[in-house]
Amino acid sequence: TVIGVERLIDALLMVAASQYVTNGMGPISINLIAPSDAGKTGLMLSALPNNARVINDFTAASLLRIVGEKRPPTYLVVPDFNVAMNDPPTVANMAMALMLALIAEGITEIPGVEEAYKVRAKALHARGLRFAFVTGMTPEMFYSRRGKWRNTGLLRRLVPINYVYSKITEKNVQQSIESGADLLQYLHTKTPRLKRGAVVIPHAAARRLLRVVHPPTER
């Protein structure tokens, strides 16, 4: 049962809506970091972005096949990122390198791959399309990778959100399980489709943000 995670759902909804922002940096990628059995999969599947595909694992070759599709997804949802990280080092490193390109500047050409993939990659780049990832992993796996990810830039593009349950939430979860409400259905619920447009910030909020970024100097 997903209980007491309203703020996380709000974050996932904002991530899903980021694909509709014009003049932005493209769809936002997110990495939920929490212990095992903390409901990461349930959270992701309860707020799936439109045009998302749920996959269990990926390699560089499988990502290239997705790139080669006529209508590739905007989001790739990988509930357990640990699976991809536990592939052999050479396989995992190639997958991470391609993943970084897909969620950053996009890809134009990768020498050595089939010509069809090259053509499709150039077409995606010309249209300004990039992929985004929604994934989750355990804190132990994240801490073991964060140094390398910081050096490659992946840490800046795959936004980490770390969460733990409070004691009250843990009690509510246990009571829910005891009452038989823990069905673990993991329904694939897609978020609403929105019109593309720029982000609009209310004037009051904009002024508060400006004071935080550029606080007034004393005279």
Query: What confidence tens digit (pLDDT) does each residue in 146-203 have?
Result: 888 888 888 888 889 998 877 777 676 666 666 666 544 555 666 777 777 777 778 8
**Is residue 32 helix, strand or coil?**
strand
Evaluate if pTM is beyond 0.75: no
Residue range 131-149: mean pLDDT, rounded: 89
H-helix segments, 113-217: 115-126, 139-152, 154-157, 167-178, 203-213
Residue 21: is its pLDDT beyond 50? Answer: yes
What is the pLDDT at residue 184?
46
25-28 LR contacts (CB < 8 Å, sep 24+): 26/103, 26/128, 26/130, 26/132, 27/74, 27/75, 27/130, 27/131, 27/132, 28/132, 28/159
Confidence of residue 95 (pLDDT cuts 50, 70, 90): confident
Higher-pLDDT residue of 209 and 74 is 74
